[in-house]
Structure 1
């Protein structure tokens, strides 16, 4: 009993640090949303180009997803986490330098380097929290806590950045320095704490074992379709608030609404807050409702919300509750279509878990490799919003949400048909 208590006491600090890193992932990733508005103004960028920072951040997952899993096996949790934190510090530092140099290319480089860090951290924090919690229900509970803090951080980012820099539509990258300094400070603190902590390393490869296997996770059709669903999902999750933010903050002459960026930040922050609520509800009912049923309901409801958003007249305004910088709620007057887009946060909140569970069901020994491949497919969070930005440039902001509609329709197909395991003959 004493040994167990001692172990829990020893791991309390690393558990807290991993949960904090969960928040850092969404903080640094979420920075690309308001930064998109800033670079659009500072460099006269199109909607397409304004999403290149977000694209650079997420496309790094395509390069680093599988190597991150290999790093975990070869050098362990601690060294991988330390490397990820150091890379993250460097990435944010490069974005700071881009403000001094007033260089769009340097900014994109920093966003790309940050993406490497976020991918590595994502590969570390989930299995590490599960291990520190002892696996099972306790490990899952810690991951849910981390995921909730991830959503809370995503809620605060657009609101905090709006508060720190004022009007993002008239700001330059230099004005984002306070937010960048906060990120760099947390990375530095995380590195110091991690360096002096002891962390269990149950999954490091101790010796090489050459065993030929004629099958892999990619031998399963439902996994391949599920990997595509993850690609689409992350693009939908990111594209909805990013393009909505551009729509709200752009001038009426360029097809936007001309809403103050601070107010727009609270509206976007409310989208992420609803994701937090959705994840808490999803975690509480997850044991009673199947992943398939949850994904069907979420995707269909998302389709309804996006359809209403596209066809509702912009002139019809509503006063919707928004999450403000003083951690309270107020009212913001926005077109009713924007409100329906914000409500999509309730739907996107539970999709990752549903898709992941359906895609790895029946994979057995191939599940670990499948998880690494999923990290690669997170790059959809950069590609689909880029495509949506291009559509917005050639048509209108709301027309671009047909890209989101198509993504949600695919997830409905996957939940209804594509998730069926038709490869049960493969030994797992």
Structure 2
């Protein structure tokens, strides 16, 4: 619900275009930063879990969570934030159409569905691949599950780095150009990973939560982890492109976008079903590969607003 409100607000405050995308990217950076630090912070507060651990041990965490919501409420209530759409959309405003009447939005909503599936599917299947000690897995015998978790965690850490970099350059690079570049790079990385398989290995730095350590993994795993840099900026870019020119329909469009994150539960299931078949883990990455091909199409062609005749 918070994202449903915050995403269009940041885009509107930035005036859409590059500036709107930059603000969304910066917002995503804080989102990723909190997602990276909060589990470590909560773990430090709770301490080691034992048989004697009780629900009361997490009371401090719950109090902190309530305090965060209280501070957010006070800030939003007291700080004047001018909505550029305020005054144009009133109770008397007529909505003759809906976001579904805009082709570029419909294709963008499909893009978000696919994107979230890609974002979740790449590290999720990679974790299973590295943790699998059978001949179908990556060939890691010692601490396979631990290494798989660390490598997958590094993917999410790279998403944080990507959003920081994306926020810095978003005012100079358009959402369309950024989407084209990251989609192409992501496709190259996945295709290379599929072709290399597990024959070639290398040592890669992995984020452990306390710092970085070195682990020996297939080169294909490294290439898939690097995809985190590509997926990091896609949400903001797709949102920016799909809501451009929607005017009074932007709020409704944002709500639809948040429903489309269900792709993060659907596409990974398809990918894992392929991975569990005789085709294997690496071939399952054809799912995110085709997804990136669609996102490239959207950035090149599908994002164009062909319904400018609809009053907004």
Residue 348 (str. 1) matches residue 215 (str. 2): no
Q: What is aligned with 1:243?
A: 125
1:26-60 Cα shifts (integer Å, max 9, x gaps): xxxxxxxxxxxxxxxxxxxxxxxxxxxxxxxxxxx
Distance 1:272 1:360 in 2: 26
Q: Contact (CA 8 Å) 2:21, 2:175: kept in 1 or not?
A: no
Give the C-alpha shift of residue 299 in structure 1.
0.3
Does the 8 Å CA contact 1:279/1:350 hold for their aligned counterparts? yes
Number of the residue aligned with 1:64: none
After TM superposition, the structure 1 stretch with the greater mean CA deviation from structure 2, 194-203 or 215-224, is 194-203
When residues 235 and 351 of structure 1 are mapped into structure 2, their CA distance, relative to the original with a 3 A threshold, is same
Post-superposition offset of 1:359: 1.0
2:196 to 298, 312, 328: 312
Structure 2 distance, partners of 1:335, 1:155, is 25
Q: Does 1:380 align with 2:263?
A: yes
Deviation at 1:266, TM superposition (A): 2.3
Equivalence for 1:149:
30
The answer to whether the 8 Å contact 2:205/2:212 transfers is: yes
1:297-347 Cα shifts (integer Å, max 9, x gaps):
100100000001111030311111222221x22211110000000000111
C-alpha distance in structure 2 between counterparts of 1:397 and 1:122, whole Å: 33
**1:215 to 2:93 alignment:** no
* 2:4 matched residue in structure 1: 123
SS in structure 2 opposite 1:379? Answer: helix
Q: Select the structure with the greater relative contact order (CA < 8 A; seq sep ≥ 6).
A: 2
1: CA distance, partners of 2:274 / 2:38: 26
Give 1:390's match in structure 2, choosing from 254, 273, 276.
273
Task: Rate the CA distance shift 1:227–1:161 in 2: closer, same or farther, 3 A.
Answer: same
SS at match of 2:298: helix
Match of 1:252 among 108, 129, 134: 134
- Paired with 2:33 and 2:166, the residues of 1 have a C-alpha distance of 15
Q: How far is the alpha carbon of 1:254 from its aligned partner?
A: 5.9
Q: Please state if 1:420 is matched with 2:304.
A: yes
For the 8 Å contact 2:151–2:206, the answer to whether it is kept is yes
RMSD (CA atoms):
3.8
Give how far 1:349 is off: 1.1
1:29-428 mapped onto 2 (5 Å cutoff)? 120-126=1-7, 135-136=13-14, 144-155=25-36, 184=62, 186-191=64-69, 193=71, 198-199=77-78, 209=91, 211-252=93-134, 255=137, 257-258=140-141, 259-326=143-210, 328-395=211-278, 396-428=280-312
Unaligned residue ranges in structure 2 (runs of 5+) = 46-51
Looking at structure 2, the residues matched to 289 and 264 of structure 1 have their Cα atoms a distance apart, in angstroms, of 35
Task: Structure 1 unaligned segments of length 5 or more: list them.
Answer: 1-119, 165-173
From the superposition, tell whether residues 163 and 250 of structure 1 become closer, same or farther in structure 2 (CA, over 3 Å).
farther
Contact 2:7–2:254, Cα closer than 8 Å, also in 1: no
Secondary structure of the 1:420 match is: coil
Q: CA separation of 1:400/1:139 partners in 2, compared to 1, >3 Å: closer, same or farther?
A: closer
- In 1, the alpha carbon distance for the partners of 2:239 and 2:308 equals 18
**2:185, 2:160 → 1: CA distance?**
17
Distance 1:231 1:188 in 2: 31
What's the CA shift string for 1:263-286, capped at 9, x where partnerless?
A: 322212221121122112211111
How many residue pairs end up in the alignment? 298
1:351 to 1:196, Cα distance in 2 relative to 1, 3 A = closer
Question: Alpha carbons of 1:221 and 1:344: their partners in 2 closer, same or farther (altered >3 Å)?
Answer: same
Specify the alignment match of 2:49 in structure 1.
Answer: none
Tell me the TM-score normalised to structure 1 length: 0.60
Instruction: Give the distance between the partners of 2:262 and 2:216, measured in 1 at CA.
Output: 34
Aligned 8 A contact 2:21 2:237 in 1: no
